Amino acid sequence: MNTVTTTLGRAAPAARTSVYVAGFGHKNPIPAGCRVGPLLESGSIQGNDPATGRPAETIEAQCRFMLDNVRRIVEAAGGGTQDIVKITVWMKDRRQRPALNVPWLEMFPDAAARPARHAIIAPELDMGRLIECSFTAWIA
């Protein structure tokens, strides 16, 4: 994941590495995340029950499964939750925030060291999803 110096003395870009996680995947041929050097970007992360592969029944369960998937993806890329810079969340209804805040505070208990979070209302989430997210991490 380091930069390679070329014969011209310029830094060559680091190789792109796809990140896959057992029990989490997309129907389309895309990885859970992509890392280039220290930068990690995820794809769409849902709150699917790993036992069924389908969205959990409640918003509370979807939030927990979603953030658990975030943790598993960043760890598979060689980092940890402390490396997450920002999480963007899409939710059907703003009233879902309390259900998200409970596992959020468990994952990021230190108010001085939490990543940024942006919530966007997305009434058109499909296939039983009530919430989903993506994240950016910097793994030094």
CATH number at 100 reads 3.30.1330.40
Higher pLDDT, 4 or 82: 82
Measured distance CA(99)–CA(85) in Å, rounded: 21
User: What is the domain count for the chain?
Assistant: 1
Q: How confident is the model over 3-24, as a mean pLDDT?
A: 72
pLDDT at site 50: 84
Whether the predicted pLDDT of 5 surpasses 60: no
pLDDT at site 3: 43
pLDDT at site 10: 65
Q: How confident is the model over 52-73, as a mean pLDDT?
A: 95
Q: Is 78 exposed, middle or buried (0-12, 13-18, 19+ CB in 10 A)?
A: middle
Sign of CA dihedral 76, 135, 28, 23: positive
Q: How confident is the model over 27-46, as a mean pLDDT?
A: 94
Mean pLDDT of the chain: 90
Least confident segment among 65-69, 103-107, 112-116, 125-129: 125-129
Least confident segment among 81-85, 101-105, 122-126: 122-126
The token duo for 112 is 């001085």
pLDDT at site 78: 97
Q: How confident is the model over 101-121, as a mean pLDDT?
A: 97
Q: Give the distance, in angstroms, between the CA of residue 47 and the centroid of all CA atoms in the same chain.
A: 11
Identify the band that residue 113 occupies on the pLDDT scale cut at 50, 70 and 90.
Answer: very high
In angstroms and rounded to an integer, the radius of gyration of the C-alpha atoms of the chain is 16
Q: Following CA atoms 68, 74, 78, 82 in sequence, which dihedral angle do they give, to the nearest 10 degrees?
A: -90
Range of the domain at 103: 4-138
3-class SS of residue 122? coil
